[in-house]
């Protein structure tokens, strides 16, 4: 019997960290409609938080400060838990609490990270004993970014995002601005004006080149809020958009530099300061068990 099955204690503060795409290159579109990419993921220490309590039946219940913003049938946390139940054959369930702190549709991986944390935490708490590779196989069916959060290390990714190589970019401090707009990843990749011809480069070349986001110009064109935030931030630091937006980030050597610039934010802009980290906060939480 699982050591967790005899107790009803709540396992708390499982982080679902945000990520930044330090660069994002779109190389081509395949015949199946998916895009070949090259991108560099780094975690930051700004996270959603999840609590889990193991249930003796297979029932899954989610409590969230989002209210009914996302239907249960579309919720990646519940879909991840159900996928793990099915794959592992466990008859256990869980009550789950989500403290949502990351903006939705911001390009920093909130939903994917929540799904990854659910898979990692419940694999431990249910004692289903799956390897990271197996969890990543489950995760990629939920979203292309889920495996990098399960892997837990800053990574260079290519293909459609499934080929990961662990890397150690500099752990800068970042000021992340969060424009109040939801950018549809699907819409960005379906747009005929999206550049799709950035040449593929070797990792060694990419790590020493200037970095860009091939989606940035298109998103700024369609979403003035993103363009405005980026235009403001770039006056103070090297700045880019992450993922398909809407969040943009500026890079700083020291925390205080980022805090000083955040203090100058115009009233209509919002953001936060976070530290880049090449080991996910989720990895550190898992090691505490």
Look at residues 46, 41, 42, 60 and name the one whose alpha carbon lies nearest to residue 15. 46
State yes or no: is 114 an active-site residue: no
For 76-109, where are the alpha helices, taking DSSP H only? 76-88
Which of 48, 114, 145, 214 is the catalytic position? 145
State yes or no: is 145 an active-site residue: yes
Q: Which two tokens stand for residue 116?
A: 């990854």
DSSP 169-198: ----EEEEE--S----HHHHHH-TTS---P
Which of 3, 19, 59, 260 is the catalytic position? 19
Instruction: Spell out the long-range contacts of 263-271 with Cβ–Cβ below 8 A and sequence spacing 24 or more.
Output: 264/236, 265/177, 266/232, 269/177, 269/179, 269/229, 269/232, 270/177, 270/178, 270/180, 271/175, 271/176, 271/177, 271/178
Known catalytic residues are: 19, 145
């Amino acid at each position: 019997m699982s050591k967790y099955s005899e107790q009803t204690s709540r396992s708390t503060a499982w982080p679902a960290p945000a990520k930044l795409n330090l660069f994002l290159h779109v190389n081509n579109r395949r015949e199946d409609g998916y895009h070949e990419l090259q991108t560099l993921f780094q975690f930051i220490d700004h996270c959603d938080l999840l609590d889990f309590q193991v249930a003796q039946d297979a029932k899954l219940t989610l409590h969230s400060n989002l209210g009914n913003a996302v239907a249960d049938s579309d919720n990646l946390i519940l879909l991840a838990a159900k996928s793990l139940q099915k794959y592992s054959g466990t008859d256990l369930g869980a009550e789950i609490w989500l403290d949502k702190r990351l903006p939705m549709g911001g390009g920093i991986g909130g939903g994917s990270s929540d799904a990854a944390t659910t898979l990692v935490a419940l694999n431990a708490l249910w004692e289903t004993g799956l390897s990271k590779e197996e969890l990543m196989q489950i995760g990629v069916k939920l979203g292309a970014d889920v495996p990098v959060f399960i892997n837990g290390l800053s990574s260079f990714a290519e293909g459609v995002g499934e080929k990961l190589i662990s890397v150690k970019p500099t752990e800068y401090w970042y000021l992340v601005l969060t424009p109040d707009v939801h950018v549809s990843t699907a819409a960005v990749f379906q747009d005929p004006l999206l550049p799709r011809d950035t040449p593929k480069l070797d990792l060694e070349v990419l790590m020493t080149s200037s970095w860009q986001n091939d989606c940035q110009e298109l998103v700024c064109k369609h979403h003035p809020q993103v363009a405005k935030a980026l235009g403001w931030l770039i006056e103070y630091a090297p700045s880019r958009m992450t993922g398909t937006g809407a969040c943009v980030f500026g890079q700083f050597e020291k925390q205080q530099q980022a805090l000083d610039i955040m203090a100058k934010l115009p009233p209509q802009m919002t953001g936060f300061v976070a530290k880049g980290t090449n080991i996910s906060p989720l990895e550190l939480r898992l090691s505490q068990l």
